């Protein structure tokens, strides 16, 4: 298993990351204690925390934050500036419960979406830009808005 990404780039913090083959990581990224699968591309200004997992063939676009407890399966597109959450009632001190989230294979998340903690985004689902996702998203479903709600499926000819 490679210890480094496949490409060179300046200004990357990479600490205790398990890389698959041919992973590409751009500049100004913070990756620590996480796993990144084969051929996945991580854009600039992305932070991926200890305990997070990203699968193979994913695209994580710039300015996205992937926190502890998030599992992103294979072939997932995460747009620019997507924020994951693992604590729905944050406090500066005391005990807290980590809420794990799973993004299933083939799902896509639009730019600027916020994914609250403890959710499952189903296989092939599509989350609209700027959505705040507060509930699970079913397989193949398209959701948008604040809070995110299903958009009616469109016929292929439309
Ligand atoms: C959600 C999305 C997939 C819907 O696309 P679509 O099926 O072509 O939908 P339409 O553009 O026909 O819009 C359908 C309705 O949903 C609304 N809508 C579309 N996208 C929306 C969004 N992100 N948030 C809220 N409402 C949205 C439209 O205003 C429209 O409402 P109306 O019927 O009242 O006018 C798309 O708009 C989107 O947000 N994609 C994500 C793109 C992205 O972030 N890419 C990242 C890389 S650049």
Q: Whose CA is nearest to atom 12 of ligand 1?
A: 154
Say what the pLDDT of residue 152 is: 75
Lowest mean pLDDT among 52-56, 135-139, 149-153: 149-153
67, 111, 136 from 37: Cα distances, Å: 16, 22, 24
Q: What is the pLDDT of residues 52-110, one digit of tens each?
A: 999 999 999 999 999 999 999 999 999 999 999 999 999 999 999 999 999 999 999 99
Whole-model pTM: value is 0.96
- What are the structure tokens assigned to 117, written together? 């903690």
Cα separation, 94 vs 115, in Å, equals: 23
Ligand 1: residue whose CA is nearest its atom 27: 144
Residue that is written with structure tokens 């100004």 in the block: 28
Q: How far apart are CA 45 and CA 70, in angstroms?
A: 18
Residues touching ligand 1 (Cβ under 6 Å) are: 79, 110-111, 126, 128-130, 142, 144-145, 151, 154
Write out pLDDT tens, residues 16-64.
999 999 999 999 999 999 999 999 999 999 999 999 999 999 999 999 9
The pLDDT confidence band at residue 3, using thresholds 50, 70 and 90, is confident
Parallel, antiparallel or unpaired: strands 142-144 and 149-150: antiparallel
Measured in angstroms, how far is the CA atom of residue 52 from the centroid of ligand 1? 28
């Amino acid at each position: 298993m490679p210890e480094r990404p496949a490409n060179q780039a300046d200004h990357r913090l990479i600490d205790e990351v398990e890389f698959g083959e041919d992973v590409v990581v751009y500049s100004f990224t913070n990756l620590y204690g996480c796993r990144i699968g084969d051929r996945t591309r991580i854009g600039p200004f992305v932070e991926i925390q200890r305990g997070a997992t990203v699968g193979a063939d994913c695209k994580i676009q710039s300015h996205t934050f992937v926190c502890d407890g998030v599992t992103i399966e294979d072939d997932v597109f995460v747009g620019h500036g997507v924020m994951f959450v693992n604590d729905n009632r944050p406090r500066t001190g005391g005990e807290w419960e980590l809420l794990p989230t799973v993004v299933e294979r083939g799902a896509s998340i639009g730019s600027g979406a916020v994914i609250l903690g403890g959710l499952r985004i189903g296989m092939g689902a599509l989350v609209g830009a700027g959505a705040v996702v507060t509930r699970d998203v079913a397989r193949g479903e398209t959701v948008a808005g604040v809070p995110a709600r299903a958009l009616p499926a469109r016929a292929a000819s439309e």
